[in-house]
Amino acid sequence: VILRNILLGMLAGRPMSGYDLSKLFERFLEHLWSARHSQIYPLLADLVEDGLIRQSGSGPRGRKIYEITDAGLAELRAWLTETEPGRTVRDEATLRSSLLWLLEPAQARDYLDREVAYHDAQLAHYRQLAASSTTTTAAERAMRVAVEAGLRHEQAMSEWARWASDQLATAG
């Protein structure tokens, strides 16, 4: 039900095809959520059947463009205001770090150093997004706010990985 509503939200931004939606996930949302085309296409069919989106056009190679309906917009707004977001964040890499005591200290330090590098790279990516994004429309300002969340998260995790590496150095 989450992905369903996220798709609705993306189509509220602008009409798109299933292919576009799947590319958007790949390119911009990979770190926050993932969705394969095999999950997206059936969901779009469901949304059409429920009257929340409709096919508004087509293109070459059987491309189908969908737009959100008034009913879809209403349902999306209700979801955003009337339901609580799920609070379980899944983060395998950080979870693994709680098992590093099983490895040789050198191996554990290697792992944490890779974490630092990863989070620093993500941080740079978000900084660039934040710097290059315009904030003229309401949708763009909201997107900027989401980018800021990623930025601060990566910053905190980078600092944490450094701290954890230091802990190993002083304890082991």
Segment interacting with its own copies, rule: CB under 8 A, options 15-23, 50-58, 81-89, 124-132: 81-89
Q: Which does 131 bind (CB under 5 to 8 A by kind): its own copies, DNA, none?
A: none
Residues 60, 61, 62, 102: which binds its own copies (CB under 8 A)?
102
Residues 124-163 that bind its own copies (CB under 8 A): 135, 137-139, 141-143, 145-146, 148-150, 152-153, 155-157, 159-160, 163
Residues 62, 85, 132, 134: which binds its own copies (CB under 8 A)?
85
Q: Tell the burial category of 90 from Cβ atoms under 10 Å away from its Cβ (0-12, 13-18, 19+).
A: exposed
Note the Cα 123 to chain centre separation in Å.
Answer: 14
Residues 38, 81, 132, 134: which binds its own copies (CB under 8 A)?
81
Q: Are 115 and 100 in contact (CB under 8 A)?
A: no
Beginning with the edge strand found earlier in the chain, give each strand of the sheet holding 16-17 in spatial order: 16-17, 64-68, 53-58
Residue that has been written with the tokens 């990566």 in this structure: 154
DSSP 56: E
Q: How many whole angstroms separate alpha carbon 10 and alpha carbon 77?
A: 13
Note the Cα 76 to chain centre separation in Å.
Answer: 18
Segment interacting with its own copies, rule: CB under 8 A, options 44-52, 53-61, 90-98, 125-133: 90-98
Residue with Cβ nearer its own copies (60 or 85): 85
CB 34, min distance to DNA, A: 4
Residue with Cβ nearer DNA (3 or 143): 3
Residues 6+ apart with CB under 8 A from 164: 97, 112, 115
Q: How many CB atoms lie within 10 A of CB 87?
A: 5
Residue with Cβ nearer its own copies (62 or 86): 86
CB 22, min distance to DNA, A: 7
Binding positions for DNA, rule: CB under 7 A: 1-3, 17-20, 22, 34-39, 41-42, 44-45, 59-64, 88, 90
